[in-house]
A = this chain, B = another copy of it.
Amino acid sequence: MPAKKRTQPDLDTLASVADYFKVLSETSRLQILHHLRGSPMNVMELCEATGLGQANLSKHLKVLTQAGILSRQPKGTSAYYEISDPAVFEFCDLACDRIHDRIVKQTKTLKQLKQLQQ
């Protein structure tokens, strides 16, 4: 541990948390997770389901696997991926709640603004 700054409580930990969120901060990867929520799929099937290119898909699958969210199982000539940590969906649900709340707030604010203007 290099201990970059002493006034900060575990900067490395914050970086790890940030990296985890970064994995979930791409629409393509959320798409993949959504489609895998039902059952494992191989790369070809994911290609059709998501509309992503094969090479692009492979890269995203690698990121998700390295993050410990997916697991990979080669079967014959193809590779099947499945959710290895279902807890990710808790994040998505929480995020949806936060987004919903924010939209409600913004709607209220907009209404108040319109009332002030008229």
Chain A contact residues, CB within 8 Å of chain B: 5, 7-9, 11, 13-22, 24-27, 29-31, 34, 49-51, 67-68, 85, 87-88, 90-92, 94-99, 101-102, 105-106
Contacts and interface: CB of A to CB of B under 8 A. Distances in A.
A18 B25 contact: yes
Contacts of A18: 24-27, 29-30
Q: How many copies does the complex hold?
A: 2
Contacts of A34: 9, 14
A17 B88 CA distance: 12
A91 to B, nearest CB: 6
B94 A94 contact: yes
Contacts of A101: 68, 85
